[in-house]
A and B are shown apart, each in its own frame.
Chain A
């Protein structure tokens, strides 16, 4: 009996040698005896024996936390100490340092215990497509961009969006899948119907010039009419017969207002109605006339007409401050009605004028001029002598049907993020130009849009080639329908065959839709939408061997690989390799990893993985206070956030070292960011590597504006968030979750204290000190970066009272002192030294990356059982000097990645 068992075991050990699959030994999470003595000393007097206070016994607490009960009891201890409830006031207090150490120990053990109890022991739960994969899969299948924002997000649970056990399904969601699938089919059918359509139109922007001229004419005329009316009212005012009326008006509300008599013209005998002077609106026409008498924007419009190139193009102006005023702050162009969905190209010919200072060389392109956020921002390097043509690809979809959504616009960067900014920009422009209005920095010659024919037919649409997609052709035969459904389903199910019964039912459903009176094309779409809500489409299924883990089939491996590195289904070459049974070959697999990572579809991996690995959700948390940070406009913010992804993406493309993210003399930026960071000689919209001097604060994640934005509230820096982020993401030493029920500090409010003084108070209470002694020094060391990542040497704080009003003498300004010492770690004098101290921990950083990568790739949380796997991947990464692709390869070659 012994022998076969042994053989099996040996086989398993060989086959699953490196990984956690065979490693069943879990670590023991236990409170250390010497830490427990503190409880024995302070708690057991009351909390022991059968008559323990509150029925809670400390004396029989198990030091090992290995089940729900023991975890719950220890959580109670943690809660009682954190809240300050225990020990009671009349009992001796616990020594502060001792308490801080104990709380740190216990809080971390609780985190370990939670992980231990949540350990899936290597098992990968089947999962549905997450929101991102669902979108990408529809894109690959049907060539459409589905709007998936209505589906529930998958990242809210704190786990990776690939972790199956956290990806739920609900009836609401099923209905959303039906609806989204249906809309995607609408789009795909429309695209297909217009496959060969070519369209092109150009807008010559000098068409704006006569509008300005006409508006000037109108303003001049209205001013004259208004002045005539005013003259007539003045006459009535001078008439002694009106003295009493005037006195009465003056005594009323707003009696001192300069226009009060004009606004009350009705009470004055002999004063004519403004309507008789041509002011005929439904509102108060006296006000209209008064406004027309002071044509505030007239000088700016006249200034426009003096510009040299208005006969051949248009200048982008500052926003006007009132909607009734002619507004040429944006150049708008409507995609003509009736133009079909599809791939478009937008082009415009543009130049920077002599007034284009370095900050004013950027143009925003967007849809719907009323929206604040542009789609993209472009640097203008063309001159009036040699304008340039900028070209932007645009997917035009059914979602663009409405007027607002087919209205494309160009505008100068940072001039209309919001109302406050727009008026500030206009005001500053007037101040700099003799009160006339902002000088013109950008000139546009023309703007054009072109529809290009569809390049290729997506597989889901190709599957329907034997069917008529319109309603004019004769009804398809059942056999053709069934064959098309079969082909479509196989494409949708990533190669898996549906049952004959399923196909029969689809054909039946098609007919019943027809019987309900639906058109053939609608019946077809409704039927296909069912396929897109079927489990074989929605789930990544991998059958299990009930007896032991099994090796994946080639097809399954191809799926795992492409969803790992693309977030979308395998393409034809990958499928072919799988079908030929070659994908398990190490060399072939390596080639495929390289090919997939070099493909643009890998951008999805870069974006989604980076977002979750580095915890970037705070990037979108805050509105930036643009009065305090005027240069960090919406477009700059957009590109600053991209910097993180572009940097990681570049490392991945070049197989660079992870260490580059901690400390580097190269940064990956474009023209917008070069301008923002004050780096010369970098122009254009593409991100490229740029070498910075050794003493530059830029280089590595901690030099990025967006990283500091996350460590702020959009206005002031938040050293705690920054410290926590560094511990969590760079040093792989995450502090336990913010404890509940810690008494709040209120005594410092209203006092003029520096940030450090305010926050250091945290460390007085041991509940707080246990974590903040680690967090705060890092945060303080990063204080040279303001809320939007600009380097500063000074900071200030204005204390406010409980009504939000500044406290007198409540302002304090100080020079930032970044020097500090990590808790139980080295000292540093300044930011650059802190950066080096952190960079020296590159092993910890790589470990965090490795764990994240494994979770993302395998779709399950990391467990203690994964220790060997982590070590293996780390070892292979280190061997290649932390080259990023070596980690990816190590994960792909791991037994776990090949095993169900």
Chain B
């Protein structure tokens, strides 16, 4: 006879079905830091997937005159056919401050005015994922996982930044560049004994104390602007301290077993995205984080498809069309197929209560650039049942509705008590089911 505790239920699940095994941690009172209410239901998760150079406008958007569920899926989205009832495309969104036709991601999740700060050539504010990370980050080993492509220097039209994520002071947050780095961050086992790891943390603290001592002596005599500059250094150290405190809390809990093998270090382009999507699922399965962004490669994607068209050239297919248009459409279809694969996995991955990961996720996929230099009607797909967003529809909202309204709708949908984000003017009722 099976005992009736959680552990055995998990074992039953594992032995009786082919579903992906749940993490061991789920069942060992793992949530003792979580609020009591949150322990009952599987947690909410948020994902943003961004690509740089927009899409092929002719073959990616459904007709604006066929809003609602009864619309024809255009060629660029056809690989998503099997999930048609489970995602919505939102048309009419834009970031009103974005006037830079070459930066597909810098302000995508922030909606910031690049020129808001005097004395800087551009600036930014916090991104939507980090707003969620502030709320959910305390429950997991990683407050968020900003993932980035493995291209050396961005050639994928993303613009300034290190990932899609920007911190509370509008500074870029470094991402894990490529699947191997992301894998090691999440799953690399610590073989060092606990006591020694505690000593190591203490050691790291004294390293930080030492550089802070140096920073304080440097601070004397600095002018106001320079002090603000040095504050970035203090902030960086403080962030590490916060992380150390968190590490300390997590010290006695081993990293979860990886539900997948170590990715090959040579992955690039299509394979890289595919494995990164697998890692996103793995991160949620193991509850390593609840907030993920991924700044996807486009340049290496094209290369991996055997396409030699330069990515920026491709994004300007409009006047010559020809091979550039072909390339652009191939990009759309490949990206859609990859997204469809991710949705498959999210649906197939079960939570403790028998629901699927897909039921608890809110995912947005898109770019700040529609096509060429066009920054209106930014390509936006939302999916996942986690935020109570209406799925299965071609949702046409009022022209130039702030993208941040969509982000706010998602944030509130997953339970982040945000009242506004970026240049938002409110939630989008049409998006709520």
Contact = CB atoms under 8 A, between A and B. Distances in A.
A168 B153 contact: no
A598 interface: no
Given A538-B233, A621-B310, A740-B375, 7 more contacts: A123-B119, A159-B121, A171-B236, A516-B203, A544-B224, A799-B322, A803-B326
Contacts of B155: 621
B376 A541 contact: no
Interface in B98-118: 98-102, 113, 115-116, 118
Given A737-B100, A746-B318, A746-B319, A126 B222 contact: yes
Contacts of A748: 319
Chain B interface category by residue count: 35 or more
Contacts of B154: 156
Given A536-B218, A544-B226, A509 B206 contact: yes
B50 interface: no
Contacts of A741: 373-376
A120 B225 CA distance: 10
B35 to A, nearest CB: 27
B5 interface: no
Given A498-B217, A530-B207, A758 B320 contact: yes
A499 interface: yes
Contacts of A513: 203
Contact of A125 (B206, B225, B320, B376): B225
Contacts of B306: none
7 contacts: A68-B116, A118-B119, A535-B218, A541-B218, A741-B374, A744-B318, A749-B325
A516 B199 contact: yes
Q: Can you list the 4 inter-chain pairs with the closest CB atoms, starting with the nearest?
A: A800-B322, A544-B223, A543-B221, A172-B174
Interface string B287-321: 00000000000000000000010101100001111
A392 B6 CA distance: 68
Nearest to B238: A171
B160 interface: yes
Interface residues of A, number: 87
A71 interface: yes
A87 interface: no
A749 B322 CA distance: 8
B240 A175 contact: yes
B215 interface: yes
Contact of A539 (B102, B218, B221): B218
A158 B122 CA distance: 9
B206 A83 contact: no
Contacts of B232: 168-170
Interface in B187-210: 196, 199-200, 202-203, 206-207, 209-210
A512 B236 CA distance: 24
A68 B112 CA distance: 13
B267 interface: no
B308 to A, nearest CB: 6
Interface in B217-270: 217-218, 220-226, 229-230, 232-233, 235-237, 239-240, 243
A391 interface: no
Most chain A C-beta atoms within 10 Å of own C-beta, residue among B101, B174, B206, B320: B320
Contacts of A737: 99-101
Given A118-B118, A123-B225, A169-B236, A502 B152 contact: no
Interface in A692-747: 713-714, 737-742, 744-746
A895 interface: no
A782 to B, nearest CB: 19
A774 interface: no
B289 to A, nearest CB: 16
A515 B203 CA distance: 11
A127 B172 contact: no
A846 B220 CA distance: 40
Contacts of A149: 152
Contacts of B374: 740-742, 744
B217 A119 contact: no
Contacts of A169: 232-233, 235-236
B206 A126 contact: no
B237 to A, nearest CB: 7
A861 interface: yes
B213 to A, nearest CB: 5
Contacts of B162: 152, 170, 172
Interface in B156-204: 159-160, 162, 167, 171-174, 196, 199-200, 202-203
Contacts of A498: 214, 217
Given A125-B229, A171-B243, A174-B236, A745 B120 contact: no
Most chain B C-beta atoms within 10 Å of own C-beta, residue among A169, A173, A623, A750: A169
A158 B97 CA distance: 18
Contacts of A799: 322
Interface string A145-179: 00001001100111100011110111111110010
Contacts of A170: 162, 167, 171-174, 232, 236, 239
A530 B211 contact: yes
Interface string A465-501: 0000000000000000000000000000000001101
A106 to B, nearest CB: 13
Given A118-B119, A506-B210, A152 B172 contact: yes
A622 interface: yes
B372 interface: yes
B323 interface: yes
Contacts of B97: 72
B230 A499 contact: no
B153 A120 contact: no
B211 A802 contact: no
B313 A713 contact: yes
Contact of B229 (A127, A175, A536, A739): A127
A164 to B, nearest CB: 6
A498 to B, nearest CB: 6
A270 B374 CA distance: 71
B308 A623 contact: yes
A359 interface: no
B217 A804 contact: no
A85 B319 CA distance: 21
Contacts of B221: 543-544
A544 B115 CA distance: 27
A75 interface: yes
A514 B223 CA distance: 40
A700 to B, nearest CB: 27
Most chain A C-beta atoms within 10 Å of own C-beta, residue among B173, B207, B224, B375: B207
B115 A156 contact: no
B114 to A, nearest CB: 9
Contact of B119 (A156, A165, A175, A542): A165
